[in-house]
């Protein structure tokens, strides 16, 4: 235990005076905190308004935590880690929680927003309808020197007794007596706009499409907007096509009279009379374990998913085994002091590891091309047939393992060479005295001690290849396609590429289903990792007994 000084503070601990900050530091810290809080409040308002409550709650917790750490002196050491904690929560913890939450929803194309935002979209996209009383008004746009817009409206009276003309400005309707047959070039300080300023004939000024109050004109209280009705410039009283009744939770289509009731199970508005008639878009709802049940119960999904899962395991296992065997073999050769030019050979062998992986994969894709590939030409010379390396399901899988071997063996060679140099030479000398042959020394000494030291790296390599999306995407993009698959899936897809296609594929995004598969992938990788670490412990026990 550390000795304490006269003040009771352990020796070596910083004195309280050392923890005090200068006035300038305090001012700068407070200014920085004010700026941070200001941005946080703006974002919180935006998130709450967009009904992104999960992200808003996470940001609120982070903001409160930053302020607490900043104001309490006892938490002074945590200030140095505050930025790391903030990024950890926002970039790691929240995405994980969000993915788990999304897996239990129908979030995807057609169901992107909460119900309130979806209702607004349906009303907005549905457009407006116009009443018959005012669709006969022809309009002409006017503008004064201050930039204020006005409308000149004319219509034939229903009884055929003449023409009615009014001049509409913002909030004012003025009947025009003895109006000319054509709108005048100027009227009460307003100038007639050219045809290009009229909607439907070029790009109109946005203000000309503004709504004007027509109290006592046409109907008691109406709204009129400059629109174009076929070949006629007309002003109409726009009314929303869809009307939402919050109490009944229904949307009514005023053109047909159809009533659509919200279905919180499927997340859409369905026609009460016809269940097949659904308004688009739908809205986000919690659907429980539906996405997970799709993986188990839907035979059209279960078929390709099982094939992809098995191939993912096989691909990851073969990648680790092949790279380890080739890398270990080269490390054993280069570890022999009698090998001439070892440094030069080692430098040449690690070239694939030094070149960016994307470039190497693209080069291999060119060499394996059916028509122009060098490797394909060589296969024709040897077998008389051009092998479809990237088009045949089995050859495509072989090509992926081959290219991954090319990319991965330098890494295994380097770690094996380092591990071999850590094995004491006395162990081999004792084995040689006991009469052990080279193969016996390798199998009984070298391999157990090697696996004991690089076992965790082999586990990490397996995990990496289990999610090696870049290789699959660049070399084959999952091709060739699995025939009859209801989802975008290919013979060479692994789980992570299948998840990507499910979430962002051409057939529409399905984030909820993709999140469910992501959780399954995590559980699989975690289980395999635990199993491999247990096996690694056995190797360590064997290494201790050697």
Per CATH, 19-102 and 295-545 having the same topology is answered: no
* Neighbouring C-beta atoms of residue 510, cutoff 10 Å: 24
CATH number of 19-102: 1.20.58
- Four-CA torsion 28, 31, 35, 37, nearest 10 degrees: 110
Mean pLDDT (whole number) for 364-389: 92
499 neighbors 517 (Cβ within 8 angstroms):
yes
Rounded CA-CA distance 299/504 in Å is 22
Percent of the chain surpassing pLDDT 70: 83
pLDDT range class, residue 32, cuts 50, 70, 90: confident
Number of residues that make up the chain = 546
Per mean pLDDT, which range of 30-44, 275-289, 297-311, 372-386 is the poorest? Answer: 297-311
Mean pLDDT (whole number) for 62-81: 86
141 neighbors 193 (Cβ within 8 angstroms):
yes
Domain residue ranges of the chain, discontinuous segments joined by +: 19-102, 128-240, 295-545
pLDDT range class, residue 232, cuts 50, 70, 90: very low
- Tell whether the model's pLDDT for residue 351 goes beyond 90: no
Domain 295-545 has CATH 1.10.3720.10: yes
Tens digit of each residue's pLDDT (9 = 90 or more) over 397-426: 999 999 999 999 999 999 999 898 888 888
- Judged by DSSP in three states, 538 sits in helix
Rounded CA-CA distance 530/536 in Å is 10
Confidence (pLDDT) at 214 = 46
Q: From the CA atom positions of the chain, what is the Rg in Å? A: 37
- Is residue 500 classed exposed, middle or buried when 0-12, 13-18 and 19+ CB atoms within 10 A define those classes? middle
Phi/psi zone of residue 373: left (φ > 0), alpha (ψ -120 to 50 degrees), beta?
Answer: beta
The CA-atom distances, in angstroms, between 198 and each of 129, 149, 188, 225 are: 20, 12, 20, 12
Average pLDDT, the chain: 81
Confidence (pLDDT) at 217 = 46
Instruction: Give me the half-sphere count of Cα atoms (radius 13 Å) on the Cβ side of residue 479.
Output: 10
Nearest CA among 342, 337, 351, 341 for reference residue 411:
351
Residue with tokens 């059209």: 300
pLDDT range class, residue 229, cuts 50, 70, 90: very low
Helix residue ranges per DSSP H, 50-185 = 53-71, 82-88, 94-102, 115-126
Q: What is the DSSP letter of 196?
A: G
Rounded CA-CA distance 88/66 in Å is 13
- Judged by DSSP in three states, 476 sits in coil
Rounded CA-CA distance 181/176 in Å is 12
If one compares 336 and 64, the residue with the highest pLDDT of the two is: 64
């Amino acid at each position: 235990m550390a000795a304490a000084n006269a003040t009771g503070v352990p020796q070596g601990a910083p004195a309280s005076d050392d923890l005090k900050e200068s006035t300038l530091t305090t001012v700068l810290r407070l200014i920085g905190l004010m700026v941070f809080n200001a941005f946080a409040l703006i974002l919180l308002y935006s998130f709450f308004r967009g009904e992104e409550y999960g992200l808003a709650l996470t940001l609120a917790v982070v903001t409160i935590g930053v302020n607490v750490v900043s104001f309490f002196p006892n938490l002074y050491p945590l200030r140095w880690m505050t930025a790391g904690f903030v990024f950890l929560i926002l970039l790691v913890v929240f995405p994980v929680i969000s993915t788990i939450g999304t897996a239990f929803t129908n979030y995807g194309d057609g169901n992107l927003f909460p119900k309130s935002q979806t209702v607004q979209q349906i009303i907005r996209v549905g457009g407006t309808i116009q009443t018959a009383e005012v669709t006969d008004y022809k309009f002409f746009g006017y503008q004064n020197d201050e930039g204020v817009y006005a409308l000149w409206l004319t219509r034939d009276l229903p009884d055929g007794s003449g023409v009615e003309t009014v001049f509409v400005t913002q909030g004012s309707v003025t009947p025009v007596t003895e109006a000319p047959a054509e709108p005048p070039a100027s009227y009460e300080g307003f100038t007639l706009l050219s045809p290009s300023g009229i909607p439907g004939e070029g790009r109109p000024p946005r203000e000309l499409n503004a709504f004007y109050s027509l109290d006592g004109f046409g109907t008691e209280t109406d709204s009129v907007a400059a629109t174009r009705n076929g070949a006629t410039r007309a002003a109409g009283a726009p009314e929303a096509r869809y009307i939402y009744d919050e109490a009944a939770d229904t949307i009514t289509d005023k053109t047909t009279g159809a009533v659509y009731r919200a279905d919180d199970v499927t997340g859409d508005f369905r026609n009460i009379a016809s269940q097949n008639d659904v308004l688009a878009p739908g809205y986000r709802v919690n659907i429980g374990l539906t996405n997970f049940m799709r993986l188990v119960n839907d035979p059209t999904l279960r078929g390709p998913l099982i094939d992809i899962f098995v191939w993912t395991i096989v691909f990851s296992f073969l990648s680790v085994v092949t790279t380890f065997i080739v890398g270990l073999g080269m490390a054993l050769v280069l570890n022999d002091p009698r090998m001439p030019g070892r440094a030069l050979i080692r430098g040449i062998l690690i070239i694939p590891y030094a070149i960016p992986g994307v470039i190497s994969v693209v080069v291999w894709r060119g060499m394996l091309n059916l028509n122009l590939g060098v490797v394909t030409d060589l296969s024709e010379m040897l077998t008389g047939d051009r092998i479809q390396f990237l088009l045949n399901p089995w050859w495509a899988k072989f090509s992926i393992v081959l290219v991954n071997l090319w990319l991965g063996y330098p890494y295994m060679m380097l770690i094996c060479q380092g591990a071999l140099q850590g094995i004491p030479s006395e162990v081999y000398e004792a084995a040689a005295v006991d009469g052990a042959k080279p193969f016996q020394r390798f199998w009984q000494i070298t391999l157990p001690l090697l696996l004991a030291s690089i076992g965790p790296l082999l586990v990490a390599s397996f995990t990496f290849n289990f999610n090696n999306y870049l290789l699959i995407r660049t070399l084959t993009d999952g091709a060739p396609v699995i025939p009859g698959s209801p989802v975008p899936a290919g013979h060479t897809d692994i789980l992570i590429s299948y998840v990507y296609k499910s979430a962002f594929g051409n057939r529409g995004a399905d984030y909820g289903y993709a999140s469910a598969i992501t959780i399954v992938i995590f559980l699989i990788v975690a289980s395999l990792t635990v199993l491999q670490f247990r096996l690694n412990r056995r190797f360590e026990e064997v290494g201790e007994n050697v």
